[in-house]
């Protein structure tokens, strides 16, 4: 499937707002890939498709898990909003024909992150929270950082996500904590 076909298919799979967000993430991911020296084509596809499983019904999610023998970890089960990321990697592979593991990883980890994030992982993670349709306190700080240093932008994005979740009193996926500790350790 070429990129145009991916876009068309995605526009049919997502709600309008979510599709606009996806185009925004795609554009930001491409911009950062150029700036920070990542593969621009991979950034385009990962950014475009990162939320490709976001608009599924619970039944469709269950069917996908069964069909592809995917068992979400306990924390993902307990925190439903993060499930669309690993499911997105499955949908991207089987419905959009993406075979590249780096792209699939960037989709898989765009919500909870992971230890040892690749450059592409970080770019998609940051693009997801800085794309032009995003509007929240702190977004401008992130946008500025995303023009200077992907590591600083990623650090700040994880910090904001953790702070937000702590304030809300919700589960923090262990991957996010691992990512955070990993960055802090390496920053020392
Ligand atoms: Fe997402
Ligand atoms: Fe997103």
| 116 C-beta neighbours (distance < 10 Å), count | 9
pLDDT tens for each residue of 59-70: 999 999 999 999
Give the whole-number percent of the chain exceeding pLDDT 90. 93
Averaged pLDDT for residues 165-183: 94
Strand (E) or helix (H) holding 26: helix 16-36
pLDDT tens for each residue of 10-27: 999 999 999 999 999 999
Q: How many domains does the chain have?
A: 1
H, E, C per residue of 119-149 = HHHHHHHHHHHHCCCCCCCCHHHHHHHCCCC
pLDDT tens for each residue of 27-59: 999 999 999 999 999 999 999 999 999 999 999
Looking at all shown ligands, the one closest to residue 55's CA atom is: 1
CA torsion 74-177-119-131 (nearest 10°) is 80
Write the CATH number for 165.
1.10.3210.10
Quote the ligand 1 centre to 100 CA distance (angstroms): 19
Question: Nearest 5°: phi and psi at 89?
Answer: -65, -35
Give the whole-number percent of the chain exceeding pLDDT 70. 100
158 pLDDT more than 80: yes
188 pLDDT more than 80: no
| 62 C-beta neighbours (distance < 10 Å), count | 11
H helix intervals, 37-118: 40-49, 58-67, 74-78, 84-95, 101-108
What's the whole-number average pLDDT of the chain? Answer: 96
Quote the ligand 2 centre to 147 CA distance (angstroms): 19
Quickly state the pLDDT bin for 169 (edges 50, 70, 90). Answer: very high
**Residue 164: what pLDDT?**
94
Quote the ligand 1 centre to 107 CA distance (angstroms): 8
Quote the ligand 2 centre to 85 CA distance (angstroms): 9
Quote the ligand 2 centre to 63 CA distance (angstroms): 22
Quote the ligand 2 centre to 152 CA distance (angstroms): 20
Joined tokens for residue 114? 């992971």
pTM: 0.96
Looking at all shown ligands, the one closest to residue 124's CA atom is: 2
Quickly state the pLDDT bin for 75 (edges 50, 70, 90). Answer: confident
Quote the ligand 2 centre to 128 CA distance (angstroms): 5
Give the structural domain span for 74. Answer: 3-187
Quote the ligand 1 centre to 125 CA distance (angstroms): 9
Averaged pLDDT for residues 102-115: 97
The DSSP 8-state label assigned to residue 81 in this structure reads G
């Amino acid at each position: 499937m070429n990129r145009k076909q991916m876009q068309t298919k995605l526009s049919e799979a997502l709600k309008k707002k979510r599709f606009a967000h996806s185009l925004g993430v795609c554009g930001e991911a491409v911009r950062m890939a150029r700036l920070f020296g990542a593969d621009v084509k991979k950034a385009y596809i990962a950014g475009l498709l990162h939320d490709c499983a976001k608009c599924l019904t619970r039944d469709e999610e269950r069917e996908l898990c069964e069909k592809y023998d995917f068992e979400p970890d306990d924390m993902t089960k307990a925190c439903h909003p993060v499930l669309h990321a690993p499911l997105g990697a499955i949908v991207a592979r089987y419905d959009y024909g993406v075979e590249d593991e780096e792209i699939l990883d960037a989709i898989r980890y765009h919500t909870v992150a992971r230890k040892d994030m690749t450059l592409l992982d970080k770019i998609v993670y940051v693009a997801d929270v800085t794309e032009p349709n995003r509007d929240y306190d702190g977004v401008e700080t992130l946008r500025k950082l995303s023009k200077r240093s992907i590591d600083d932008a990623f650090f700040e994005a994880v910090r904001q996500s953790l702070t937000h979740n702590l304030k809300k009193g919700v589960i923090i996926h262990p991957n996010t904590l691992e990512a955070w500790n990993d960055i802090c350790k390496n920053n020392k």
